Structure 1
Amino acid sequence: MMLRPAEVSDAAALAALSIEVWVYTYLRNGVSSFFADYALRTFTAASFSKAVRAGSETILVSQNTQGIDGFVRLSENRAAPVAGCGTLEISSLYVQPRHHGKGIGAALLRAAIDRACSLGATDVWLTTNAENSPAIRFYLGNGFEKVGEAAFQIQDQGFLNNVYRLQLNPPRDEV
């Protein structure tokens, strides 16, 4: 496994991997047009190409001998849906399901935390579906704490998400 910054030439692979992970994780009972439209509209090569070029986004990929098997995306200047969080979001951490349990997610998370520290962040936050038990266990096991709930919106439908926060540098008076 090699971790590296994403390049514009990775955009199509990032889009395909995102669709694979999102569908596998959230669409357990079939794929409706509602969710298919969302995934195909959201996870595009054009949107990833734009994100790779953006100065406020950091995308790090895990690459094996065949291609990208996971990535993490940090988004700066993002207001959290609950109070008490900074403005640096881990907006995606996706690993191909067939590669779960190999340490890829943990390596990507460590790299994202290192990047957050290099940006001077004192915390990072993220959301995950409230029913995504494997992700919840992963984040809690890596020091995140649940700090609230929010709705993930697709058109007029909301889906319950948990909000998690990881404090990176404790305030001086707590040391």
Structure 2
Amino acid sequence: MPEPYIRVAVAEDDRELSALDRATWSTLHAVSPEPQPPYAPFFDERHRPGDFLVAELDGTLAGYIRLAHPTPLASNAHVLQIQGFAVAEKARGQGVGRALIRAAVDEARRRGARRLTLRVLGHNTPARKLYESEGFVVEGVLPEEFLLDGAYVDDVFMGRTL
């Protein structure tokens, strides 16, 4: 099985990342409504190409992960947060997600971060297991924070020291 190639996103990835985002949308991980046409560009002022790492598998874009500061405060500048993560359905089970998380950890360290955090829905067991296997621990839970498909879902805060 080929290893995923991880790189920083470029503006030309916009259309492919937008399509990937729509194809992977699910209430398993999304709290916003399903995207509807006309589709907005993937990149904007708050979501710049340099914020994203993308994975390619056999020359095809197979996933992405976004790193951002959780707040604009200088006192919080040592923390980065995963604020977006998706793997194409056909690429799941091939190490793409794990490679993206490991690359995000490396990139966060390169940027001088001391901590990396994320939020994940309580019912997203596959993602939670992956994060835990990469050193993330549950640091807090907001019970029944979201109402998705008629069920209340916890918002789980996870983090790790770098």
Say whether the fold is shared (TM-score over 0.5). yes
**What's the offset of the Cα at 1:45?**
4.8
Match of 1:160 in 2: 154
Q: What one-letter code is carried by the residue in structure 2 that aligns with 1:65?
A: D
C-alpha distance in structure 2 between counterparts of 1:130 and 1:26, whole Å? 9
5+ residue gaps, structure 1, are: 28-34, 169-175
Is the contact between residue 147 and residue 165 of structure 1 (CA under 8 Å) also seen in structure 2? yes
Q: Does the residue aligned with 1:46 lie in a helix, a strand or coil?
A: coil
Match of 1:30 in 2: none
Aligned residues: 148
Matched, 1:146 2:138: yes
Match of 1:19 in 2: 22
Match of 1:46 in 2: 41
Is the contact between residue 75 and residue 90 of structure 1 (CA under 8 Å) also seen in structure 2? yes
Matched ranges for 1:52-131 at <5 A: 52-53=48-49, 58-76=51-69, 78-79=70-71, 87-131=79-123
C-alpha distance in structure 2 between counterparts of 1:152 and 1:159, whole Å? 5
Quick one: higher RCO (CA 8 Å, sep 6+), 1 or 2? 2
Cα deviation 1:8-41 (Å, max 9, x = unaligned): 11112112211222227459xxxxxxx8x82316
Cα deviation 1:65-103 (Å, max 9, x = unaligned): 352111111012x14xxxx9x631111121112211111
Q: Does the residue aligned with 2:22 lie in a helix, a strand or coil?
A: helix
Match of 1:5 in 2: 8
When you count helix as a share of all residues, which structure comes out higher? 1
C-alpha distance in structure 2 between counterparts of 1:167 and 1:22, whole Å? 29
Cα deviation 1:138-173 (Å, max 9, x = unaligned): 11111100001233589xx974211100111xxxxx
Q: What one-letter code is carried by the residue in structure 2 that aligns with 1:105?
A: G
Change (3 A) 1:129 1:24: closer
Aligned-pair Cα RMSD in Å = 3.0
When you count strand as a share of all residues, which structure comes out higher? 2
Match of 1:173 in 2: none
Is the contact between residue 69 and residue 95 of structure 1 (CA under 8 Å) also seen in structure 2? yes
5+ residue gaps, structure 2, are: none
Is the contact between residue 12 and residue 45 of structure 1 (CA under 8 Å) also seen in structure 2? no
Cα deviation 1:92-119 (Å, max 9, x = unaligned): 1211122111111111111111110011
C-alpha distance in structure 1 between counterparts of 2:24 and 2:152, whole Å? 20
C-alpha distance in structure 2 between counterparts of 1:119 and 1:46, whole Å? 26
Q: What one-letter code is carried by the residue in structure 1 that aligns with 2:11?
A: V
Q: What one-letter code is carried by the residue in structure 1 that aligns with 2:33?
A: Y
Q: What one-letter code is carried by the residue in structure 2 that aligns with 1:17?
A: L
With normalisation by structure 1, the TM-score equals 0.72
